[in-house]
Amino acid sequence: QSVLTQPPSASGTPGQRVIISCSGSSSNLGSNAVNWYQQLPGTAPRLLIYGHNQRPSGVPDRFSGSKSGTSASLAISGLQSADEADYFCAAWDDSLNYVFGPGTKVTVL
């Protein structure tokens, strides 16, 4: 059972904006940066957002992150079929364990 919680699924039509939530506690999201990963089917995860809202080189600005207190969210604007993937939030926990959320499967309708 994950210490971070995410909805199991989210969906939208092309062009829509989808928001994925990630909820934690004071020992993880409340005191450490949140990172987001995208995993396309059959591939390794890829870093999407780090430090709450920073994008690595090559990640489109359609992806954005935010954090408030012990919750974080990932927004995907202008949803595309290529965005169909699993999305995981993650953060250090004060128990010195790096924890992942269970993942949210995004479907483009």
Partner 1 sequence: QLQLQESGPGPLKPSETLSLICTVSGDSISSAYYWAWIRQPPGKGLEWIGNFYYTGTSYYNPSLKSRVTISVDTSKNQLSLKLNSVTAADTAIYYCARQSLRSLGGFLDFWGQGTLVPVSS
Q: How far apart are the C-alpha atoms of 11 and 26, rounded to whole Å?
A: 29
Contact characters 49-88, partner 1, x per CB under 8 A? -xx----x-------------------------------x
| Closer residue to partner 1 in complex, CB, 16/97 | 97
Nearest to 34 by CA among 56, 7, 46, 52: 52
SS3 62: coil
Among 10, 18, 29, 37, binds partner 1 (CB under 8 A): 37
Among 7, 12, 30, 102, binds partner 1 (CB under 8 A): 102
Q: How far apart are the C-alpha atoms of 33 and 40, rounded to whole Å?
A: 23
Among 14, 15, 78, 98, binds partner 1 (CB under 8 A): 98
